[in-house]
């Protein structure tokens, strides 16, 4: 997840938005699906995180009408006049943004709202959005976040159990913390005309999510794609009743590379607009991120340097969308270290 810097008129940047040819679609059987009520869920989650860095969650317990209500409120907001929406921007990093992704020239066929998910750290732009929208909007956001946080905690605790990490809340307590740096992103990808030679516009270019874990729910419009281990891209069939879980950069580090932060992107649909809601579970800014001692007892076996979430977040938001951000925090090979002595 990378924030957009300023609202930009769509027409002014349409020619700069990248395009891709459509790719094969994964069948439902190809995507790991985890039933959270399954006694083997923790084992299936670990396997999915190792093989894909991505999986679908069913029987998650979040009421369908709550998901639908937030989607409807998001649609109402994005349907407002552009001049009204711009009053909630530019994002700092929270607020309304459009088309420009980050400070380094990335653009996409997208507009969005980024909201702070921690009521203890409410931002002025988040407050501004709540002032400019009906009370039902804030209520839908807060109810949705309450429920999706519980899904996040449950999944992270299952990850810990599946890896044999003790205590069970080693990962979830970072997101539960009253100072956790988590956020909710509401994305809107308008319909886009098909380009020449069957090319489609990029809504959000390829990237990984910096946080520990991402919990995504979207409407029934296609567009999400993930990158497989062999470098090929596959499209994920939409399912508005389920959640899709992404391993984030921080979790890749904490598992010392055993889990991979999945690279993903969104392509704009030529027939229907796409609305997605993503909860990014992040630790407190001061939280130290490093391979977990339970998994990697010897520091000489660490693949990454220790850093705080604040340091990584600052570095990630200054990068281009498709950069391999963890490269700056990988430990140098021993031979290289000796040559510098």
State the catalytic residues. Answer: 274
Tokens of 295: 């998994």
Report residue 243 as tokens: 């959640």
308-316: which pairs have CB atoms within 8 A and are 24 or more residues apart? 309/181, 309/250, 309/282, 309/283, 309/284, 309/285, 310/285, 310/286, 312/210, 312/249, 312/250, 313/181, 313/210, 313/282, 313/285, 316/2, 316/210, 316/249
Q: Are 279 and 182 in contact (CB under 8 A)?
A: yes
My answer on whether omega of the bond before 90 falls inside 30° of 0, hence cis, is: yes
Cα torsion 135, 140, 145, 151 to 10°: value is 160
DSSP class of residue 261 equals P
């Amino acid at each position: 997840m990378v924030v957009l810097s300023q609202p930009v008129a769509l027409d002014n940047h349409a020619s700069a938005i990248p395009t891709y040819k459509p790719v094969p679609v994964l069948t439902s059987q190809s995507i790991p699906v985890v039933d959270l009520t399954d006694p083997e869920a923790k084992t299936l989650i670990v396997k999915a995180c190792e093989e894909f860095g991505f999986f679908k969650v069913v029987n998650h317990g979040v009421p369908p009408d709550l998901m639908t209500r937030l989607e409807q409120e998001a649609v109402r907001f994005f349907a407002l006049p552009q001049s009204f929406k711009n009053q909630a921007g530019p994002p700092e990093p929270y607020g309304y943004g459009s088309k420009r992704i980050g400070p380094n020239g990335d653009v996409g066929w997208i507009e969005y709202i980024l909201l702070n998910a921690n009521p203890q750290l409410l931002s002025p732009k988040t407050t501004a959005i709540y002032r400019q929208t009906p009370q039902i909007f804030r209520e839908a956001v807060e109810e949705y976040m309450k429920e999706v946080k519980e899904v996040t905690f449950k999944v992270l605790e299952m990850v810990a159990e599946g890896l044999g990490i003790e205590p069970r809340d080693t990962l979830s307590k970072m997101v539960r913390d009253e100072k956790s740096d988590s956020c909710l992103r509401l994305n809107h990808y308008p319909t886009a005309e098909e380009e020449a030679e069957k090319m489609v516009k990029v809504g959000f270019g390829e990237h990984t999510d910096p946080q520990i874990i991402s919990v995504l729910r979207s409407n029934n419009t296609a567009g999400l794609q993930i990158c497989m281990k062999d470098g090929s891209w596959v499209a994920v069939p939409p399912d508005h009743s389920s959640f899709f879980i992404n391993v984030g950069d921080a979790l890749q580090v904490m598992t010392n590379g055993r889990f991979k932060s999945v690279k993903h992107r969104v392509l704009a649909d030529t027939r229907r607009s796409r609305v997605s809601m993503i909860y990014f579970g992040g630790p407190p800014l001061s939280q130290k991120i490093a391979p977990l001692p339970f998994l990697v007892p010897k520091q000489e076996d660490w693949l990454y340097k220790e850093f705080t979430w604040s340091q990584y977040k600052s570095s990630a938001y200054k990068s281009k969308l498709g950069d391999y951000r963890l490269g700056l925090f990988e430990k140098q090979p021993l031979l290289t270290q000796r040559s510098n002595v």
